[in-house]
Amino acid sequence: MPSVNDIRSTFLNFYEKNGHRVVDSSPLVPRNDPTLMFANSGMVQFKNLFTGLETRDYNRATSAQKCVRAGGKHNDLDNVGYTARHHTFFEMLGNFSFGDYFKEQAIPYAWELLTKDFGIPKDKLLVTVYHTDDEAANIWKKVANLSDDKIIRIASDDNFWRMGPTGPCGPCTEIFYDHGDHIWGGPPGSAEEDGDRFIEIWNLVFMQFEQFEDGSMKDLAAQSIDTGMGLERIAALLQGKHDNYDTDLMRALIEASANATSSDPDGPGKVHHRVIADHLRSTSFLIADGVMPSNEGRGYVLRRIMRRAMRHAHMLGAQDPVMYKLVPSLVQQMGAAYPELGRAQPMIEETLRSEETRFRQTLDRGLRLLDDELGKLPEGADLPGEAAFKLYDTYGFPLDLTQDALREKGRAVDVGGFDTAMAEQKAKARAAWAGSGETQDATIWYDLAEKHGTTEFLGYDTEEAEGQI
């Protein structure tokens, strides 16, 4: 059975053999793109090659890109632990053509890799195309000989990609794997498409047009290809599993979590272990790329993920910091492919240990307060915003952590009330500082917290350039 590491190599070797330059993953913090919080797809580092702003000595590339989707436009944080297919950190395998080959070559490459090199039975695969993209549908028919019901035409934006409001755009084709009718879910486009039976493994984007401000579109001079395949998803199916978390790599992390908390990896704490394994990867890779926990911007996303994992460790009965103890297992699994992980290991461990030590000082009391508050409420009622704010302000509970804790009990937070409480606190802080002659640090802190501390990073949402859709 191929390991996750073998599968990554098979992908890169396949495209290298077909004339692609193997390019290292770029860091998670995009170098020249302040509008994007974290790299969220393989194309991010190649953006200027697609627009023609930059040229290099290759026009075909392949990469395994570190991605984080835990804020902004692509936010999969709430899915983690609960779906079989989402992580906050994952690796996106991709092949790229910068004005070189187009659909007629991208589809046969993908089909050959999946069905020959990876040996996936053809009858388990189906694809979507954009509803007007006859060209792609015909290529699929010719190359893969798929029946019409396995080439599903989709009219939504899920199958039409845009780099931004203007610029390169075009139709996509997504490749799905059918894990079988013992799992709930329907094919893409059906009412049950959100289930986990049909799993999207690969998205091929055809950069075909340029979109102008006046709404018109014309063919791009240099038509390009951008693809993204989730390594964890392809690994799951090649290892005969349905769930990403059952792959060799994720399983090793889950077992490390179970050992460190002396609990059963498959017992009632199963979801906790999944969340911990996932968040261990995102937090460690973020720290390795220079992000540190803080109360704003990228650092606050990191802190939110870390604290969330720490609550899950606490739920497993951990009496001491846990996360830092799992780092060696991660380095063992991924250090060869990502040497930065080993180099940063001491810093990752120290950052996790000190954050968990600090957070544990208020975590217990915060959770008790949460239980008390819930006890006072009628069955099923939302947690009042003031209580969520107190947890945030006094106990260091990011809002999404409180929401995550409530989700297990089938409850939610009154987010409007939370925002009001935040606004009131801010006004009070302003009044208290005004005329005091001191710096306005507290006010600034509340501004930042308001901007970044609530559920979504709207500031990035609107601006953020898209990766794959």
What one-character DSSP code corresponds to residue 464? Answer: P
C-alpha span between 50 and 99 (Å, rounded): 8
Q: Which is nearer to ligand ATP, 202 or 338 (CB)?
A: 202
CA angle 343, 344, 346 (to 5 degrees): 105
Residues 6+ apart with CB under 8 A from 306: 279, 283, 293, 323, 352, 355, 356, 359
In the three-class reduction of DSSP (H, G, I as helix; E, B as strand; rest coil), residue 211 is classed as strand
**Closest distance of CB 136 from Mg ion, Å:** 14
Task: State which H helix or E strand residue 144 sits in.
Answer: helix 134-144
Burial class of residue 115 (count of CB atoms within 10 Å of its CB; 0-12, 13-18, 19+): middle
In the bound complex, which residue of the shown chain has the CB atom lying closest to ligand ATP?
Answer: 230
Q: Does 203 bind Mg ion (CB under 5 A)?
A: yes
Q: Rounded to the nearest whole angstrom, what is the least distance from the CB of residue 195 to ligand ATP in the complex? A: 11
User: Around Cβ 358, how many Cβ atoms within 10 Å?
Assistant: 15
Residue 233 beta carbon to ligand ATP: minimum distance, rounded to whole angstroms: 5
Cβ atoms of 183 and 176 closer than 8 Å: no
Residue whose beta carbon is closest to Mg ion: 203
> What minimum distance in Å lies between the beta carbon of 202 and ligand ATP?
5
Residue 263 found at the interface with Mg ion (CB under 5 A): no
- Asked if 351 is part of the footprint of Mg ion (rule: CB under 5 A), the reply reads no
Nearer to ligand ATP, 239 or 443 (CB): 239
In the list Mg ion, ligand ATP, none, the entry touching 98 (Cβ below 5 to 8 angstroms by class) is none
Of the two residues 203 and 261, which places its CB atom closer to Mg ion in the complex?
203
> Dihedral, CA atoms, 231, 233, 237, 238, nearest 10 degrees?
0
Give contact residues for ligand ATP (rule: CB under 6 A).
Answer: 69, 76, 85-87, 90, 92, 200-203, 228-230, 232-233, 468-469
- Which lies closer to ligand ATP via its Cβ, residue 14 or residue 397? 14
| Least distance (Å) between residue 444 CB and Mg ion | 34
- In angstroms, give the least distance from the CB of 469 to ligand ATP: 6
Residue (198 or 395) nearer to ligand ATP, CB: 198
What are all long-range contacts of 140-144, with beta carbons under 8 Å and residues at least 24 apart? 140/107, 140/173, 143/107, 143/108, 143/111, 144/107, 144/111, 144/115
Q: For residue 401, how many C-alpha atoms fall within 13 Å in the half-sphere facing its CB? A: 31
Amino acid found at 49:
L
Choose from Mg ion, ligand ATP, none: what does 90 bind? Cβ within 5-8 Å by kind.
ligand ATP
Nearer to ligand ATP, 312 or 325 (CB): 312
Binding mask of the shown chain, residues 152 to 191, with x at each position contacting Mg ion by CB under 5 A: ----------------------------------------
Strands (E), 30-105: 60-68, 70-71, 74-75, 89-97
Q: Would you say 78 or 386 has its CB closer to Mg ion?
A: 78
- Is the Cα dihedral 389, 391, 394, 398 positive or negative? negative
86, interface contact from ligand ATP, Mg ion, none, CB < 5-8 Å by kind = ligand ATP
- The residues near 184 (Cβ < 8 Å, ≥ 6 apart) are 192, 195, 196, 197
**Contact partner at residue 228 from ligand ATP, Mg ion, none, CB < 5 to 8 Å by partner kind:** ligand ATP
Structure letter (DSSP) for residue 72: T
List alpha helices for 379-440, DSSP H.
385-395, 399-407, 415-433
CB of 262 to Mg ion, least distance (A): 35
Q: Which stretch binds Mg ion (CB under 5 A): 200-208, 271-279, 416-424, 428-436?
A: 200-208
Minimum distance from residue 234 beta carbon to ligand ATP (Å) = 7
Our CB check for ligand ATP shows the closer of 79 and 166 to be: 79
Q: How is residue 330 written in tokens?
A: 């991660």
Complex with ligand ATP: residue 159 or 351, whichever CB lies closer: 159
Stretch that binds Mg ion, among 6-14, 29-37, 201-209, 324-332 (CB under 5 A): 201-209
Q: How far is the CB of 2 from ligand ATP (least distance, A)?
A: 17
Nearest distance, CB of residue 245 and ligand ATP, angstroms: 11
Contact region with Mg ion (CB under 5 A), list: 202-210, 217-225, 235-243, 378-386: 202-210
Pairing of strands 70-71, 74-75: antiparallel
Decide: 33 and 44 in contact? Cβ < 8 Å: yes
* Of residues 69 and 103, the one with the C-beta less far from ligand ATP: 69
Task: Report the DSSP pairing between strands 217-230 and 89-97.
Answer: antiparallel
- Which chain residues interact with Mg ion by CB under 5 A? 200, 203
